[in-house]
Structure 1
Amino acid sequence: MDFIACFYWRILPLTSMVMPFSLGNFLFVMILFRLFRFSWFNLGLFATCCLLFNGLSVAEQLEPSRLEKAMAHIQLDKRIESPAAFLGYPLGEWHLRHDQINYYLKQLANQSLRVSLDSAGKSFEARDQLTAIITSDKNQRNLANIIEQRSLAKQGLPQNGPVVIWLAYSIHGDEASGAHAALALSYYLAASQEPWVQQLLEQAVVMITPSQNPDGFDRFATWANNHKGQVLVTDNQHREHSQDWPSGRGNHYLADLNRDWLFLRHKASQGRVAFFHKWQPHYVGDFHEMWNNQSYFFQPGVADRVYPLTPPANQELTEKLANYHRSALDEVKQVYFSGELFDDFFYGKGSTYPDINGSIGVLFEQASARGQAQASANGIVTFQSAIANHFATSISSLQGALTLKRELLNYQSAFFSEKNKQPIARIKGRLIRALNDTARRDELANLLSQHQIEFQYLTKSLHHAGKEYRPLDSIFVADNQAQSSLLEALFDKRTEFKDTTFYDISTWDIQSALALDVVPNVSPDVDVLTRQPMLYHHLQLGDSDTPPWPRNSVALLINWQQSNASGFVNQLVNQGVQVKFAKQPFSIKQTQGQQIFSREFVAGSLQIPLKQSGKSVQQVMQLTWQATKDWQVDVVATSTSASLSGINLGSDSFVTIKPVQPMIISGFGTDPFEVGELWYHFDQTLKLPVSLVNGEQINDIDLSRYSHIFMTEGSFSSMNEVSARKLGQYVIDGGVIVAQKGALNWLNKRNVLRHEPQSSRYYEKLFNSDQLNFNDKAAFKAKQHIGGAIVNLNLDNSHPLTFGLAGTLSVMKNKPLAFDSVNTPFTVAAHYQDKLLVSGYMAQEYQRAFANHPAMLVEPKGRGAIVAMSDNLLFRNFWLGSEKVYANALFFIPTGL
């Protein structure tokens, strides 16, 4: 007993420097039980000792003089500064900012030979995403060779190097306990002289990323600290626990970065995935927070909701690792659960992306205080206890991965061993086309490159099933390669599932998202393939300042099927260049060498007349040439206004495009994700300034300065009848409202939108619960939920809202909403197909209800119009195949009606 008490007072000061007294108790238990293997009897004696000291305050534990005395008697590297000493207060007393985290990591790297730093790049707000690389001094000196070995991991060869463990925290900015636990863990590994830590660092490289969402993390830290008092308030309704709009969950553009591992639309995600493939970790711990009324979760999740492409061995290893987490939390009497609620399905999350890339990903979820302390059904949840729990499972992750090192290395080798054996004679794979759109081809190529999926461009056109696949819009992707599992997952279309409950979306097929034509099982000749992309011939001039078009040209033409044409036209219109769009398709004669051929242009295509008021031909050409280089679009010169077919260039069916000034209604009552997606699209994709205006301001501002007002999913609770009347008059006066999903209900109920969406009550009546038992309740609710399924729309391509799109459009549907029959002529731009489901899960009741019903319509009103869409066509800014609808609404509505 004397030895136990003595050891307690030697170890406790180390732990209490970086965490509250309860976490110090926990770590001491872990050390005793794991390293010294005390009996349960001795552990009971220790618990009694702990009770005697529970009356000590945090201030007493951290009294400097007492801390200094304790430091003299424990096995610590005294050159290394603890978080408490660095900050000047106990870790967790205040919510840290991201810069404080980075400064402390840099301090550790300066003070410890065990610690170096790596970066996953910067966030949108230019915050550096640092990771502490912690391993033995010997491994640190050999780190370049270790990284080189990791680059060979996808070859599937036997591995004998260190096990690479990546612990990543707080990808949701308001789930802050993870980042604080990460700092405590970083210090502990850097300073501890314990045998097990030394063994760990000799056999492993431990990577600790405290904050994966720097921008959202700082937004939340400021909020939580601003509302913290000297006396902690646990009331759920206190402002500390109820964030303003937007919360800290999302990044700068309000996106959920833990849904962006596959799509890679955000800088932080791109840097993180590049970091993943650089190190190719064997084990990834993904640390989160959940609702305050829950306890603690770690995977495995629901057994029937594992994506079928994940190997069974992955889940077997996850279960073995779970035993270490169970022991760790049982020892501190923290209740937990596994096998329910969360799943291993969507590969776009931090705990599942590793599973399709040869690693073991494990999700951890801790009940959240969303501040310092909050009441819950299980008692008061504190920030300190959340830090302690995540520290506990971080330690158990390290211990489990160290013990299972050989199994983790063998698993990764086996995952890749059969996937990199190309047949000698003929390569088979997918031939993929983004019709007449080099930019969308390049977006696909960029995505595949970031996921380390190999592909090749074409040197000449190929023909399949009556379609031409050209070098400018097509690529070839071989099936048999190291990343074949991820490749299959990206293009997977399945509609049958064991369990129809989904924590996130049920499908993410990129063929649908990017509106691609895909031919499987193609075996092209090797001489048709190249690693170099082909550019439009005039863009091969590179940095030339001289426009390449002939002097006898009368106009410049741009096919509207090109994605980048939207930003191109906006740039020119804002520079005072007259640009017109075609309300009907047409074709012109073009000469190339001795060959004469027809060049087709779809409705919506652009004309830039070279004779313009106030500008010389040279000025128009020069501005257009600069925009051409900026946006990488195909511009065709013509020397005549006569067309081969369709309208001539002087026709009234060419309409001048006016400058646009959009506004997005934001704030409480609007969906921050969808608001952020619109903001991202205008700002990042179109380079178009857009105003975000909170709904409660609508009554007090001049709306006439805006050409278009965008409304997203939401209740719009901050707006009233006065707001509705003002919006209605805005449209009558010539403005355009572009509304989707929940906004349609709000506008219809207030008589701004005439056509009525079908109500939620209508859809509820479709489902019959007769003869169901109480145990069927969860499955019945899951059936009524549309988590995310891909459906097809039939488009009216003569409607200005659909210009530049194919006849069929695939969209992500995640809300039961559609219009009833629309009797007003010339209003509907798109219907759901009769057999609408492309991939994912959607109950048959919904499929029958949506079939053949309007999905997009444009309702004229006075001199303006309302564009109404029952789905979000910018889903997570990855749905590139349908984003042109928003450009059409901006540039063609209402003038094209």
Structure 2
Amino acid sequence: MKRFLLVALLGLLSVPGWTQIQSPSEFLGYPLGSQFTYHHRVVAYYEHVAANSDRVKLEYYGQTNERRPLLVAYITSPENHGNLESIQADNVKRSMVEEADSRKAIVWLSYNVHGNEASATEASLLTLYTLASTQDVDQVAWLNNSVVVMDPCINPDGRDRYANWYNQIGGFAANANPDAWEHNEPWPGGRPNHYLFDLNRDWAWQTQVESQTRMALYQKWMPHVHVDFHEQFINSPYYFAPAAEPFHDLITDFQRDFQTRIGQNHARYFDEEGWLYFTREVFDLLYPSYGDTYPTFNGSIGMTYEQAGHGMAGLSIDNEGKDTLTLLERLTHHHTTGLSTIEVSSKNADELIDNFGKFFQDQAKGVGSKYKTYVVPAKDQMTKGNALIDFLKIHNIDYWIATGNKNVEGFSYRTNRNEKFTVREGDLIVPANQPRGGLVRALFEPNTQLSTPITYDITAWSLPYVYGLNAYAVESTMSAPGTRQNKRMSTGVEVPPFNPDAPYGYILAWEDLRDAQVLAGWLNAGLQVRFSEMAFTQGGYDYPAGSIIVLRSDNPDFPGDAFGMAVQKPLKEHRRVARETKTGWVVRGKDFGSGSVKVLTPPRIAILGGDGTASLSHGETWYFFEQVLGYPITRINTDDAGGVDWSTYDVVILPEGGYWGLFSDGGADALKTWIRQGGTAIAMGRAAGALARQDGFGLERKDSDSDEEEDEDEAYRDRLRRYADQESEFVKGFNPGSIYEVTLDNTHPLAFGYGDKYFTLKTGSQAFEYMENGWNVGYIEGDGKPRAGYVGEKLHDQLSESLVLGVEPMGGGAVVYFVDNPLFRAFWRSGHLMVANATFFVNKD
């Protein structure tokens, strides 16, 4: 440890190094830890080191939404650099259960996924300098045995947002008083990326450009060890592995043991310095989309390290023990665990590599998997199934398309029971006995097992529910015909070619998110469209309610070929089919001139944000419209709401939040007036609860149905609760995130494109009564138990017979209530079409 600190001291005090490489302090012009370094200066320092060291090479793998570069440094011996491509290729072969020769440990260090946990990037500068310039015999040996991949900042947009704010608000000297302005970030804070997403929940879903580009590179390396550097609040000193329960049960004994070995090595160094730390608490290994779990489910030793600090810490802050925590201390701790990780990994390279290979060998055999095959029928869900295939491809998950029919038995995700069914030609088959079988199991299994319900995140995420797919989990294996990953689902029905000269118009069946994307494209192009409130049959095809009709007679501004070209462009972009129609006459349903076939006026949409709203939910909504749907919106700060002319908007979306300030200043009355004049308000998650607290809205909170006398007796008995039972009592009313089956009224426009069931991700305990004067479009029937995930027993009665989706008419307008957020982290794809329905179809009488 003393050697670690000697090198750190040299870097921090600007003492000339052993080579032409400048220390971070020399290069930056200020002592490292005395201020926050902007991303462009971090990049410049990495380039400086790479230009002056034969141990370091850089690779730029992408850029952020705000056009900041994303890069990694490869740090290893000059000899290993000469063989870097073969080391990389060999390790990927090993993960595919193929022969491989390379024996170098690959250690990936990821810094600053949360922008305001800002010591991590500063630590990376010191660690880079140490590894590039060290003459220490042991450290040189580490680089002979390993390849270190360092990503200095996963989230540059968020980090620079934080650094800019802090550098602007701070005084000449840091103020350690926690009351100081510099310790209290304004909305939305530096934690999220440009679109206000938490990138540490996006590893598996890869909705954000930072995740997409980074994980494409990750798949080319498949490291043996991955560390995700974080910060926690100021009174928790330092957390490192081993992790807390619950562990996902696919995690191997070796992965558990190696975490402990690394943690013990960290503890040795921390003990030498008298630094405090804790292990085996808070940070578990369950949710598959973290920077520790996703690598773990891909054979790695995935770990989170958490330093006291976070966005409130600034350059220095006094904690509850009246100790002053400085940025220098924070970065030094991260620097120490980074080097310690490399040390243990390098010294145990052979064991790491052998067990990494064994992980994939066991998965290829289906070891530990109850279900060996997952089947997604193509019938009536081909588009959703192909969206799932796109997801499988980015994870290198093998799949096949069935080439024949076979009768089997399996667990039905839709009915929640085992039943017989027929696999048909064109169906999607995902085997669990494959190299990526661990990831398949983690993402597909119907219900994840929990050793304890106290977990850091949601407890249910099974992909068939995420994508809204009818699917089956089968306990037997199925043979794999043909090659893998080279086909898409197909019903075998020939699709007629697009006719750009259709004399009458086109019909687009309303079935999937892609149809909403096409609609947005047509509206953006200036086309006038109609939608049918009822299902109809024409030309031998059945069209569901919500189907879009584009008529040549409605669009005189698109004469001749221009009409067909305007219609075709978004269809090609989103791989959808619109069928030609030659008449407004239908065989079943309402003709195109009926009042049930309505002109769709492009809605003018506003989204509220700022104080009183949840930044993550605001970002999800913003991202959905701008990047997923491709439809224009206006973001309005709640502080500015009083001066807005709301008559210029047709739809106002309230992301999750309490809205205390807005509603206490008369905002609720103004909102009601606007709704009565014809507006549509869409309330997401906790925003629905915020409206329920206001007079004049028909949403009512649901209380437990337990007998009042029993409640009083139970409350009296609770006075004798044991101190040690606090946690067990807490979990009885706890819902970290679970999946519920929802009964749908799919005749209502809010549920167009859906069947009679929907599966919602419920991340809280709020529950509401069925509305007396509104449309109860989606609701939970039965005993209130979840389909998947954990929900405390005290919540079962409360959630039973409760509202999930509702529409309340109000004067000339309406309120749409999404009790659960359908845009949660942008990964809950089955909810996306419903948001489009709320925006385009609701309140169009």
If the length of structure 2 is used for normalisation, what is the TM-score? Answer: 0.91
Alignment match of 1:738 (pick from 682, 704, 729): 682
Letter in 2 for 1:802: A
Structure 2 CA distance for aligned equivalents of residues 652 and 12 of structure 1? 78
Instruction: Tell me the secondary structure at the aligned position of residue 739 of structure 1.
Output: strand
Partners of 1:17 and 1:90 within 8 A in 2: no
Are residue 716 (structure 1) and residue 669 (structure 2) matched? no
Instruction: Tell me the secondary structure at the aligned position of residue 516 of structure 1.
Output: coil
Are residue 335 (structure 1) and residue 283 (structure 2) matched? no
Instruction: Tell me the secondary structure at the aligned position of residue 279 of structure 1.
Output: coil
Partners of 2:501 and 2:561 within 8 A in 1: no
> Aligned in 2, Cα 1:676/1:759: closer, same or farther, shift over 3 Å?
farther
Structure 2 CA distance for aligned equivalents of residues 438 and 371 of structure 1? 51
Alignment match of 2:393 (pick from 449, 457, 465): 449
- In structure 2, the residue matched to 1:410 is 354
Partners of 1:347 and 1:353 within 8 A in 2: yes
Alignment match of 1:861 (pick from 788, 810, 817): 810
Partners of 2:698 and 2:772 within 8 A in 1: no
Structure 2 CA distance for aligned equivalents of residues 446 and 744 of structure 1? 33
Letter in 2 for 1:808: K
> Aligned in 2, Cα 1:770/1:584: closer, same or farther, shift over 3 Å?
farther
Letter in 2 for 1:259: R
Structure 1 CA distance for aligned equivalents of residues 617 and 486 of structure 2? 37
Partners of 1:727 and 1:752 within 8 A in 2: no
Alignment match of 2:615 (pick from 644, 668, 672): 672
- In structure 2, the residue matched to 1:393 is 337
Report the CA distance between 1:754 and its aligned residue: 2.2
Report the CA distance between 1:261 and its aligned residue: 0.9
Instruction: Tell me the secondary structure at the aligned position of residue 198 of structure 1.
Output: helix
Are residue 18 (structure 1) and residue 5 (structure 2) matched? no
Q: 254-263 or 373-382, which moves further after superposition? A: 373-382
Instruction: Tell me the secondary structure at the aligned position of residue 240 of structure 1.
Output: helix
- In structure 2, the residue matched to 1:36 is none
For structure 1, the residue ranges without an aligned partner over 5 or more in a row are: 1-6, 20-60, 542-546, 591-598
- In structure 2, the residue matched to 1:694 is 637
Letter in 1 for 2:34: E
Report the CA distance between 1:305 and its aligned residue: 0.9
Structure 2 CA distance for aligned equivalents of residues 489 and 285 of structure 1? 20
Partners of 1:158 and 1:410 within 8 A in 2: no
Report the CA distance between 1:763 and its aligned residue: 13
Structure 1 CA distance for aligned equivalents of residues 272 and 287 of structure 2? 32
Partners of 1:428 and 1:479 within 8 A in 2: yes
Partners of 1:460 and 1:528 within 8 A in 2: no
Instruction: Tell me the secondary structure at the aligned position of residue 192 of structure 2.
Output: coil
Partners of 1:124 and 1:267 within 8 A in 2: yes
Partners of 2:657 and 2:686 within 8 A in 1: yes
- In structure 2, the residue matched to 1:644 is 587
CA offsets, 1:769-808, max 9 Å, x none? 4653111112222332211111111000111110001211
Structure 2 CA distance for aligned equivalents of residues 539 and 136 of structure 1? 57
Report the CA distance between 1:830 and its aligned residue: 0.7
Partners of 1:663 and 1:709 within 8 A in 2: yes
Partners of 1:708 and 1:736 within 8 A in 2: yes
Alignment match of 1:300 (pick from 238, 242, 256): 242
- In structure 1, the residue matched to 2:436 is 483
Alignment match of 2:793 (pick from 812, 833, 844): 844
Alignment RMSD, CA only? 2.9
Letter in 2 for 1:713: E
- In structure 1, the residue matched to 2:486 is 531
- In structure 1, the residue matched to 2:413 is none
Instruction: Tell me the secondary structure at the aligned position of residue 130 of structure 1.
Output: strand
Partners of 1:434 and 1:517 within 8 A in 2: no
Aligned residues: 817
Partners of 1:293 and 1:376 within 8 A in 2: yes
Partners of 1:579 and 1:609 within 8 A in 2: yes
- In structure 2, the residue matched to 1:148 is 89
Alignment match of 2:523 (pick from 573, 578, 587): 573
Are residue 807 (structure 1) and residue 756 (structure 2) matched? yes
Alignment match of 2:775 (pick from 798, 809, 827): 827
Letter in 1 for 2:237: S
Are residue 796 (structure 1) and residue 745 (structure 2) matched? yes
Structure 2 CA distance for aligned equivalents of residues 13 and 82 of structure 1? 13
- In structure 2, the residue matched to 1:623 is 566
Instruction: Tell me the secondary structure at the aligned position of residue 784 of structure 1.
Output: coil
Structure 2 CA distance for aligned equivalents of residues 146 and 867 of structure 1? 55
Report the CA distance between 1:707 and its aligned residue: 1.2
Structure 2 CA distance for aligned equivalents of residues 629 and 128 of structure 1? 31
Instruction: Tell me the secondary structure at the aligned position of residue 573 of structure 1.
Output: helix
Report the CA distance between 1:432 and its aligned residue: 1.5
Are residue 265 (structure 1) and residue 218 (structure 2) matched? no
Structure 1 CA distance for aligned equivalents of residues 485 and 169 of structure 2? 58
Partners of 1:17 and 1:85 within 8 A in 2: no
User: Where do 1:65-214 residues align within 5 Å?
Assistant: 67=15, 71=16, 76-156=17-97, 160-214=102-156
CA offsets, 1:640-666, max 9 Å, x none? 333232223332211111111211110
Are residue 558 (structure 1) and residue 501 (structure 2) matched? no
Structure 1 CA distance for aligned equivalents of residues 468 and 806 of structure 2? 21
Instruction: Determine which structure has more spread, i.e. the larger CA radius of gyration.
Output: 1
Structure 2 CA distance for aligned equivalents of residues 664 and 459 of structure 1? 47
CA offsets, 1:569-621, max 9 Å, x none? 1222233322111111112233xxxxxxxx22111111112222534364332
Are residue 586 (structure 1) and residue 536 (structure 2) matched? yes
Instruction: Tell me the secondary structure at the aligned position of residue 188 of structure 2.
Output: coil
- In structure 2, the residue matched to 1:29 is none
- In structure 2, the residue matched to 1:238 is 180
Are residue 514 (structure 1) and residue 467 (structure 2) matched? yes
Instruction: Tell me the secondary structure at the aligned position of residue 498 of structure 2.
Output: coil
Partners of 1:553 and 1:640 within 8 A in 2: no
Alignment match of 1:345 (pick from 286, 291, 297): 286
CA offsets, 1:268-294, max 9 Å, x none? 112222222211111112211000111
Instruction: Tell me the secondary structure at the aligned position of residue 217 of structure 2.
Output: helix
Q: 217-226 or 150-159, which moves further after superposition? A: 150-159
Partners of 2:112 and 2:229 within 8 A in 1: yes
> Aligned in 2, Cα 1:460/1:585: closer, same or farther, shift over 3 Å?
farther
If the length of structure 1 is used for normalisation, what is the TM-score? Answer: 0.86
Alignment match of 1:220 (pick from 162, 171, 176): 162
Report the CA distance between 1:140 and its aligned residue: 0.7
Structure 2 CA distance for aligned equivalents of residues 525 and 349 of structure 1? 31
- In structure 2, the residue matched to 1:600 is 542
Alignment match of 1:887 (pick from 823, 826, 836): 836
> Aligned in 2, Cα 1:671/1:251: closer, same or farther, shift over 3 Å?
same
- In structure 1, the residue matched to 2:414 is none
Letter in 1 for 2:597: F
Structure 2 CA distance for aligned equivalents of residues 469 and 877 of structure 1? 31
Report the CA distance between 1:524 and its aligned residue: 6.7
> Aligned in 2, Cα 1:579/1:467: closer, same or farther, shift over 3 Å?
farther
Report the CA distance between 1:444 and its aligned residue: 1.4
Letter in 2 for 1:827: W
Report the CA distance between 1:182 and its aligned residue: 0.7
Structure 2 CA distance for aligned equivalents of residues 761 and 699 of structure 1? 40
- In structure 2, the residue matched to 1:24 is none
- In structure 2, the residue matched to 1:682 is 625
CA offsets, 1:636-692, max 9 Å, x none? 112233323222333221111111121111001111111111011001111112111
Are residue 504 (structure 1) and residue 457 (structure 2) matched? yes
Instruction: Tell me the secondary structure at the aligned position of residue 506 of structure 1.
Output: coil
Structure 2 CA distance for aligned equivalents of residues 567 and 227 of structure 1? 42
Partners of 1:458 and 1:528 within 8 A in 2: no
Partners of 1:856 and 1:870 within 8 A in 2: yes
- In structure 2, the residue matched to 1:250 is 192
- In structure 2, the residue matched to 1:662 is 605
Structure 2 CA distance for aligned equivalents of residues 390 and 11 of structure 1? 12
Partners of 1:159 and 1:409 within 8 A in 2: no
> Aligned in 2, Cα 1:718/1:283: closer, same or farther, shift over 3 Å?
same
For structure 2, the residue ranges without an aligned partner over 5 or more in a row are: 409-419
Structure 1 CA distance for aligned equivalents of residues 741 and 48 of structure 2? 54
Letter in 1 for 2:373: G
Letter in 2 for 1:393: T
Report the CA distance between 1:699 and its aligned residue: 0.9
CA offsets, 1:446-474, max 9 Å, x none? 22111111123456898986789674xx5
Partners of 1:185 and 1:391 within 8 A in 2: yes
